[in-house]
Copies of this chain bind each other. A is one copy, B any other.
Amino acid sequence: MTLRSVDAKQMESLRKMIPEDRFSTGDSVLNLHSRDQSFHPPSRPDVVIWPILKEEVCAVLKYADENRIPVTGWGSGTSMEGNPIPVKGGIVLDFSRMNRILQIREQDFQADLEPGVIYQDLNERLRHKGLFFPPDPGARATIGGMIGNNASGTRTVKYGSTRDYVLRLTMALASGELIETGTRASKTSSGYDLVRLFVGSEGTLGLVVEATVRLAGVPSEYGAAVVTFPSLNAAGKCVFEIKRSGLDPAALELMDPECIGLMNREKGLGLSVLPTLFMEYHGPSSHQLAETIKVVKEICVDTGCTGFNAGFGRGERDRLFRARHELGEMILRNHPGCGVLVVDVAVPATAYPDMIAAVKEEMKKGGVTGYIFSHAGDGNLHVNLVGKREDQDGWRRIHTVADRTVAGALASGGTATGEHGVGIGKRKFMEAEHGKSLRWMKKIKTLFDPNGILNPGKMFPYNDDFLQLTR
């Protein structure tokens, strides 16, 4: 039995399950749920449903499974790789109204959340408790979406990815079954780690309907440093020495001169237009932090920095990092009529400088404009490749640069995606990255979702005929 669109009779059945104000087949709603923040082409669902109860999610899934209707979870649509685009139509479950912070257990450093909670809103609520949820993908992402994509960001070098902050999940499975997995203890060796199997599975194994996440203490003191280098290589060496020193930076971001130029122009930062590291350090007291920064400076000087500025107040630090977070938007604004393909790969530390050199070379060869800014401390490289929307030849060249960058990352032992997930764009690399273990991923998919209704057309390289590959 293959997957099907929702027919008129089925639409009536679904309509009876959900109150009218949380059910829509309206054009604008379908359009809004046809694309994320990526360059991937839009694809509309047949219907959008906003559940607010676990039981509603289960009922819709059970019905969809029985009728072979695709179901795709939706957070806030800020994914970067087409992850939530309903490429086979069907039902989109939009979790944005299932967004209660159920409980903050301050003394346990934990919070129980519905999947639609926006992580910045959670952090706003936590502010006065001296706690925060560290993963920070930047966009206004939901917790459910972050879990789906194993999202991460600038703070991951110190604090880890979303994967490291999920303790417990309640999952609605394809059949409509509800299971709880994980523990409220901060460590466990009990049974198979289903929590981490679900994290990063992009809604293809089940849908998160509740999560218990770990929180961290807000550091008493923050310190930032902006450090310039004569070459990307020198900056790369500095990244290595800082990591080896045990200094534990809370952010270690590398920007190429093109990015610095853009940030200067838009935000008047007045930085030297050179390869630049933005660093952040956290500490329990200003004296301790001052000692940390001293050691940082020594290392930067030893590795040949040409400029070191660490005398920032909190406001100035916020301004710098806000500019860093807005780079994606700045690039779009500065190239009117253009689209952007965001490359996201991660490689071992030693492969990092060569990777940057190679992508620069590919851009030059292909005549492609691009901006390199990256979570250097994690070996996670982003390149935003820019092209006129209608320039088909240009986009062919952009895709060539992107594909060669991913191929290069894999050849160096790295991964096709550091934090954006597989979605649509990285499916074609899955066989190359995972080899025979991809078959086992597929078997797990088939175990949890035998009819293939959950976010079909994602994660695996096989196209329309999901079931064809079920061996």
Contact = CB atoms under 8 A, between A and B. Distances in A.
A287 B445 CA distance: 53
A403 to B, nearest CB: 15
Nearest to A205: B192
A105 B78 CA distance: 36
B419 A189 contact: yes
Contacts of A193: 150, 163, 193, 196-197, 199-200
A400 to B, nearest CB: 21
Contact of A189 (B191, B200, B205, B435): B200
A404 to B, nearest CB: 17
Given A156-B187, A447-B447, 10 more contacts: A161-B187, A177-B436, A179-B440, A184-B347, A189-B418, A190-B417, A190-B422, A190-B433, A192-B444, A193-B199
B131 A441 contact: no
B185 A413 contact: yes
A147 to B, nearest CB: 11
Interface stretch (A238-246, A259-267, A385-393): A238-246
A220 interface: yes
A166 to B, nearest CB: 11
Interface string A124-143: 00000011000000000000
A382 to B, nearest CB: 13
Contacts of A434: 181, 190-191
Contacts of A435: 179-180
A164 B164 contact: yes
A437 B196 CA distance: 13
A284 B247 contact: yes
Contact of A179 (B177, B192, B248, B437): B437
Copies of this chain per assembly? 2
Contact of A291 (B178, B186, B291, B421): B291
A123 to B, nearest CB: 15
Nearest to A426: B190
Interface stretch (A106-114, A268-276, A365-373): A106-114
Contacts of A409: 185
A419 B434 CA distance: 29
A383 B461 CA distance: 50
Contact of A185 (B108, B244, B288, B414): B414
9 contacts: A107-B240, A160-B164, A181-B434, A187-B379, A187-B419, A189-B200, A189-B422, A190-B433, A190-B434
Nearest 3 interchain pairs by C-beta: A184-B413, A288-B291, A185-B346
B184 A192 contact: no
A330 interface: no
A266 B85 CA distance: 65
B416 A190 contact: yes
A349 interface: yes
A184 B459 contact: no
B415 A183 contact: yes
Contacts of A417: 188-190
B287 A194 contact: no
Contacts of A283: 246
Contact of A441 (B130, B192, B440): B192
Contacts of A285: 291, 294-295
B437 A180 contact: yes
A149 interface: yes
B197 A192 contact: yes
Nearest to A429: B190
A426 B189 CA distance: 10
Interface stretch (A20-28, A48-56, A211-219, A320-328): A211-219
A101 interface: no
A288 B183 CA distance: 36
A459 B217 CA distance: 35
Contacts of A149: 189
A397 interface: no
Contacts of A438: 191
A201 to B, nearest CB: 6
A234 B222 CA distance: 29
